[in-house]
Amino acid sequence: MPLPWVLVFFHWAGALLLAAIPQLRAAVLANLAVSAGGFLLALFLLGYPEGEQGWTRLDALNLPLILLAALVGLTTSAFSAATLHHEGFDHWRIRAYHTAFQGFMGAQALALLADNLGIMWVAIEIATLATVTMVAVHRTPEAIEAAWKFFILCGVGIALALFGTIVLYLAAQPLLHENGLSWAALRRVAAQCDPGVLNLAFVFLLVGYGTKAGLVPLHSWLPDAHAEGPTPISAVLSGLLLNAALHAVLRAKAVVGAHPATVAAGPFLMALGLASLLLAGFALWRRHDARRFFGWSSIEQMGLAAFAFGIGGAAANLAGLLQMAGHSLIKSAIFFGVGQAAQIKGSQKIADIGGLVASHPALGWGLALAIGGIAGLPPFLVFAAEFRLVTIAAEAVPALLLPLGLGLVVAVAALVTTLQALCFGDPTRDAAPRAASAAALAPLWLHLAVALWLGLAMPAPLAALLAEAARIVG
């Protein structure tokens, strides 16, 4: 079996194993062990030859994303192990939660690694169903409402993506005989396909996977889903699922873009990206719930990445990839911090969490740095991405610089306001006065350190890999 499949089935075997473990202590440790094993396997992929292996392929575009996903999966499992006892799960929920978590990890890895677009679709659908059950796990009215919305909206979105996949196959079918949904094969023959059919396929793929990536106007499931369920779910939803969906859009764009006569995909992506940025930037001002707030901030960040890919070209694509990576690392760090704060304060409303720096310095400063990082303040990775994006946009699409700048400024101002509310000022009352646990803080600080390291001194091999990935997107 090729190594990519080993990685996927390792997580899924772990999911089966975890379904059989009812004790909390044993389950969280087993979950951590499976995630650590997945991380090691992902590291082995670095030395694995690039190219197709049947239904999977490994190339410069998915390799950095899979490494990032394995890292975030590992740290999220560590955070989950340190905090899950506060959720008060019975043994059924412990089983369901861990099974869904590893099922999701395997599915999102498959979504990134798949060469066959049909397999990619199936993987994203499995990842969605797994996260829906995790969002609903508390079974409060709010959780049920959020999960139902997630289920129905993403059900429709994913159905449209399958329709797009079928149309894409229809376009290439006269030219391909076997393995007709292979991305590499589709890309090779795209230049001889009928451009009209390719356009039709792209519209459906963009709307379908765009729903999953949280792009406006199909974003409304995202803030609700991020606000419910145990906090580790928000971290993997933001850090992994959105990337897997945007990656699918990029693969579709690369196929359709290979034909010179198709409608340019760039303006569509730029329009959706800009709409996401502007709507989320203003919506951020009206949030009272911390986790919903950062859910909206994910819409804004995905919008920025989509805008960068819409401009196209190696430099802008690189900015988009850096944006995706930076967002994954820092946003999951924020959710680790917010989850920890919400457990201490007994509420996830912004008004109930305040003055963390004074009462819990390690947590407060970590969260403050992470929110600053996601707002694009230097020296973290998101700053590097947004700085590149703005300079490229000024050159390539000067007319759009004004709305882009407006969206960025509005969003940054909202983030800084919330940063001050959450971390500085007078401490609010603790529901359960205790220090933040070191085990739960370690993932937050580790993510900050990685984001800082990549933002200041990206290792040359990784930079070369990302540059090649930017060329693949086209």
Contacts with other proteins, residue ranges (CB under 8 A): 116, 118-119, 121-122, 125-126, 129, 132-133, 136, 139, 141-142, 144-149, 151-152, 155-156, 159-160, 162-163, 165-167, 169-171, 173, 177, 179-181, 194, 196-197, 199-200, 223-224, 227-228, 287-289, 292
C-beta of 65 vs 181, nearer to other proteins: 181
Whichever of 125 and 386 has its CB closer to other proteins, that residue is 125
Q: Nearest approach, Cβ of 136 to other proteins (angstroms)?
A: 7
Smallest distance, Å, CB 169 to other proteins? 6
Among candidates 322, 474, 298, 302, which has minimal Cα distance to 387?
A: 322
Does the CA dihedral 178-183-184-185 come out positive or negative?
positive
Q: Where does residue 300 rank: exposed (0-12), middle (13-18), buried (19+ CB within 10 A)?
A: buried
CB of 193 vs other proteins, minimal distance in Å: 9
Distance from C-alpha of 389 to C-alpha of 410, rounded to nearest angstrom: 17
State the nearest-atom distance from the C-beta of 209 to other proteins, in Å: 15
Q: Which is nearer to other proteins, 212 or 287 (CB)?
A: 287
Task: Pick the closer one to other proteins by CB: 151 or 309.
Answer: 151
Least separation in angstroms between residue 194's CB and other proteins is: 4
Half-sphere exposure of 76 (CA within 13 A, CB side): 32
In the complex with other proteins, the residue whose CB is nearer, 8 or 473, is 8
| Shortest CB 148 distance to other proteins, Å | 6
Token match 């390291």: residue?
A: 453
398 alpha carbon, distance to own chain's centre:
29
Q: Is 48 within 8 Å of 3 (Cβ atoms)?
A: yes
Quick check: 273 and 307 in contact, CB under 8 A?
yes
Non-local CB neighbours of 145 within 8 Å, separated by 6+ positions: 224
362 CB-contact burial (10 Å; exposed 0-12 / middle 13-18 / buried 19+): middle
Residue type, 186: L
51: left (phi over 0), alpha (psi -120 to 50) or beta: left
Instruction: Read off the amino acid at residue 288.
Output: H
Given the complex with other proteins, which of 163 and 365 has the nearer CB atom?
Answer: 163
CB 235 → other proteins: shortest distance, Å?
A: 18
Q: Between 37 and 118, name the residue whose CB sits nearer to other proteins.
A: 118
Nearest distance from C-beta of residue 297 to other proteins, angstroms: 15
Residue 312 CB, nearest approach to other proteins (Å): 23
> Is the dihedral angle over the CA atoms 175, 177, 183, 184 positive or is it negative?
negative
Residue closer to other proteins by CB (options 132, 258) is: 132
Q: Are 114 and 186 in contact (CB under 8 A)?
A: no
Residue 352 near residue 360 (C-beta atoms within 8 A):
no
The residue among 229 and 372 lying less far from other proteins, judged by its C-beta, is 229
User: Shortest approach of other proteins to residue 134 CB, angstroms?
Assistant: 12
Q: Which is nearer to other proteins, 173 or 391 (CB)?
A: 173
Q: Report, in Å, the least distance between residue 347 CB and other proteins.
A: 10
315's tokens: 């430099």
Instruction: Specify the residue, 50 or 145, whose C-beta has the smaller distance to other proteins.
Output: 145
Q: Which is nearer to other proteins, 347 or 437 (CB)?
A: 347
Cβ(447)–Cβ(367) under 8 Å? no
| 441, 366 contact by CB (below 8 A) | yes
Half-sphere exposure of 223 (CA within 13 A, CB side): 21
> At its nearest, how many Å lie between other proteins and the CB of residue 306?
24
